[in-house]
């Protein structure tokens, strides 16, 4: 017995010739599949066109408009950099503030604002119509805060400054002496800050005025120039990461920035204007010992920890940070890592205003390291130095107009310029040697890197006014 079947011809895909073709997955005819695909392509193209024509997202509603609002907002961002990180930027959290600043810059009208892969924000304010100066001038501040104290959960506090007020006791119990604010406060010579507003942290963290005060000043100066139609040249803006760990200029492209000169806003109390800074080098001293069980260590163990201790004790106390001032150089042993019997590394920094003093400080380190290694019979020891940045004054002396115009702007705004050497460094020190002469302006801050850090609001406002005045002078400058 068999079934009676008609003869049917099959195609290569197993479907009877002449039968409707089906999609084997969806059960759709091929013509239906083509129709669906065409509709899908049309939808995608429509979306692409719509996205291309769509306006940029509106900035968040919480963008601050005053300098104080900006500052109080920025310090809440934890942007602490990391000495030991090998990434650029050294911490991802700096990018969070960077992204916010890009949004705010675009909201001000600096539509080319970008944050690059290294965490550097750059933007351009086009020249005003009455500008005659052909080059761009830069304004720079840094986003990171020091690793020396926590920058997490900063709680900014405001204090009115009154005559004869008590020392300021922060919630943490730390004290800011009134005499630090007002060394002199008499009827004949009243404190310059009377009636003004002091801003501090709670004392559990640093404040972050270094350098979020500088960022606030620059953002507010840009806002003022735009709102008041103030004359200005092309203004290039940069906010950098990792200044506090000496790497703020590592990936700064001066050709892309394309300015004749710039100003960092990263200084101290009102009036400071800095065209000179430390020569800076770091030194690492490594002691290599030998370890055995302490119970059988006599005449065998070579303890590198003891050598490190002797080395530090050997360094001259008269050349320590805590015993020097003004133009005096110093050696600062600031870390010991790793530490152990077999190997101990002492990290030091050397600071001076002259090459001669730098060489002298380095010789002290070398001699003390040799003495300590011999005393404790180390298997070996090494001393390595790395140049971090150089004194920018020789570069700035080649461009006197950069300082001359700044001094004129200070005087015009009623601030006596206090031209002093920085016992430290700024991004401008390295940028000057990269072809961008960059002195440093005050922010109104003090006690940087400390939980007792403070800034005076009115000093920030005055710096903003000086920046606006300075840009107006550049707009009419004739080379």
> For residue 425, what pLDDT band results from cuts at 50, 70 and 90?
confident
d(CA 162, CA 228): 33
Residue 167 bears catalytic tag? no
| Contacts with 152 (C-beta within 8 Å, 6 or more apart), sequence order | 78, 80, 205
pLDDT value of residue 118:
98
Taking the CA of residue 254 as centre, how many other CA atoms within 13 Å lie in the half-sphere pointing to its CB? 18
> For residue 188, what pLDDT band results from cuts at 50, 70 and 90?
confident
Share of the chain above pLDDT 70, in %: 87
> For residue 44, what pLDDT band results from cuts at 50, 70 and 90?
very low
Residue 144 bears catalytic tag? yes
Cβ atoms of residues 348 and 361 within 8 Å: no
| Contacts with 109 (C-beta within 8 Å, 6 or more apart), sequence order | 125, 226
Share of the chain above pLDDT 90, in %: 82
The residues spanned by each domain of the chain are 67-277+392-475, 279-388
> For residue 61, what pLDDT band results from cuts at 50, 70 and 90?
low
Coil, strand or helix at 201: coil
Q: Residue 406: pLDDT above 60?
A: yes
- Active-site position among 104, 144, 223, 465: 144
> For residues 244, 242, 268 and 358, what is the CA-based torsion angle, rounded to 10 degrees?
50
Coil, strand or helix at 64: coil
Of all helices (H) and strands (E), which one includes residue 311?
A: helix 304-314
pLDDT value of residue 4:
43
Both tokens assigned to 260: 């004749």
pLDDT value of residue 452:
98
CB atoms near residue 370 (< 10 Å): 16
End-to-end CA distance of the chain: 111
Report the CATH number of the 67-277+392-475 domain: 3.40.630.10
pLDDT value of residue 63:
82
In order, the DSSP letters of 142-197 are E--B-TTS--TT---EEEE--TTPPPEE-TTS-EE-HHHH-S---SSS--TTTT-E
> For residue 45, what pLDDT band results from cuts at 50, 70 and 90?
very low
> For residue 47, what pLDDT band results from cuts at 50, 70 and 90?
very low
d(CA 379, CA 57): 64
User: pLDDT by residue (tens digit) across 372-391?
Assistant: 999 999 999 999 999 988 99
CATH T-level topology, domain 279-388: Alpha-Beta Plaits (3.30.70)
Coil, strand or helix at 336: strand
Mean pLDDT of 445-453: 97
Coil, strand or helix at 456: strand
Q: Residue 43: pLDDT above 70?
A: no
d(CA 45, CA 382): 65
In order, the DSSP letters of 371-440 are HHHHHTT-SEEEEEEEEEE--SHHHHTT-HHHHHHHHHHHHHTT---EEEEESS--HHHHHHHTT----E
> For residues 294, 295, 299 and 301, what is the CA-based torsion angle, rounded to 10 degrees?
-20
Of all helices (H) and strands (E), which one includes residue 214?
A: helix 209-227
In order, the DSSP letters of 85-131 are --SSSS-THHHHHHHHHHHHHHHHT-TT-EE-TTS-EEEEEPPPTT-
- Active-site position among 211, 243, 274, 281: 243
Q: Residue 42: pLDDT above 70?
A: no
Q: Which residue(s) pair with 176 in the sheet?
A: 168
Both tokens assigned to 431: 């940028």
Mean pLDDT of 270-295: 97
Q: Residue 88: pLDDT above 50?
A: yes
pLDDT value of residue 471:
99
Question: What is the pLDDT of the chain when averaged over all its residues?
Answer: 90
d(CA 105, CA 59): 10
Reference 471, options 239, 140, 136, 111; nearest CA is: 136
Mean pLDDT of 279-306: 97
Mean pLDDT of 321-328: 96
Both tokens assigned to 443: 């922010």
Both tokens assigned to 153: 């959960």
User: pLDDT by residue (tens digit) across 223-278?
Assistant: 999 999 999 999 999 999 999 998 999 999 999 999 999 999 999 999 999 999 99
Cβ atoms of residues 267 and 443 within 8 Å: yes
């Amino acid at each position: 017995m068999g079934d009676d079947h008609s003869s049917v011809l099959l195609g290569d895909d197993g479907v009877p010739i002449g039968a409707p073709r089906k999609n084997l997955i969806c059960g759709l005819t091929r013509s239906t599949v083509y129709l669906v695909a065409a509709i899908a392509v049309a939808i995608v193209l429509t979306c692409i066109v719509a996205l291309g024509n769509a306006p940029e997202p509106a900035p968040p509603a919480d963008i601050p408009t005053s300098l104080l609002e900006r500052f109080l907002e920025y310090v809440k961002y934890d942007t602490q950099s990391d000495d030991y990180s090998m990434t650029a930027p050294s911490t991802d959290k700096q990018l969070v503030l960077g992204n916010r600043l890009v949004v705010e810059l675009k909201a001000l009208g600096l539509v080319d604002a970008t944050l690059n892969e290294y965490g550097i924000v750059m933007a351009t304010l086009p020249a005003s119509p009455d500008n005659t100066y052909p080059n761009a001038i830069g304004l720079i501040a840094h986003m990171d805060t020091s690793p020396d104290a926590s920058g997490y959960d900063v709680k900014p506090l405001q204090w009115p400054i009154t005559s004869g007020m008590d020392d300021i006791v922060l919630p943490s119990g730390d004290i800011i002496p009134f005499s630090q604010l007002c060394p002199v406060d008499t009827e004949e010579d009243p404190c310059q800050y009377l009636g003004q507003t002091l801003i501090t942290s709670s004392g559990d963290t640093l404040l972050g005025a270094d350098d979020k005060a500088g960022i606030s000043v620059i953002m507010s100066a840009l806002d003022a120039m735009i709102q008041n139609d103030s004359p200005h040249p092309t203004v290039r803006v940069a906010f950098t990461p990792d200044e506090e760990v000496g790497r703020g200029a590592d990936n700064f492209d001066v050709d892309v920035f394309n300015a004749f000169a710039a100003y960092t806003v990263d200084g101290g109390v009102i009036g400071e204007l800095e065209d000179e800074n430390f020569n800076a080098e770091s030194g690492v001293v490594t002691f290599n010992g030998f370890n055995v069980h302490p119970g059988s260590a006599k005449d065998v163990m070579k303890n590198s920890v003891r050598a490190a201790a002797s080395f530090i004790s050997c360094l001259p106390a008269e050349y320590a940070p805590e015993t020097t001032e003004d133009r005096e150089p110093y050696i600062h042993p600031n870390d010991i890592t790793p530490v152990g019997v077999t190997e101990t590394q002492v990290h030091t920094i050397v600071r001076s205003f002259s090459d001669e003093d730098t060489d002298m400080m380095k010789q002290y380190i070398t001699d003390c390291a040799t003495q300590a290694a011999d005393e404790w019979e180390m298997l070996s020891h090494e001393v390595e130095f790395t140049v971090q940045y150089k004194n920018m004054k020789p570069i700035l002396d080649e461009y006197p107009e950069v300082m001359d115009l700044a001094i004129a702007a200070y005087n015009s705004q009623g601030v006596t310029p206090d031209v002093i050497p920085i016992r430290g460094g700024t991004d401008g020190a390295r940028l000057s040697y990269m072809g961008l002469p960059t002195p440093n302006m005050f922010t109104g801050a003090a006690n940087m890197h400390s939980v007792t850090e403070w800034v005076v609001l009115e000093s920030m406002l005055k710096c903003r006014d000086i920046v606006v005045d300075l840009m107006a002078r550049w707009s009419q400058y004739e080379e």
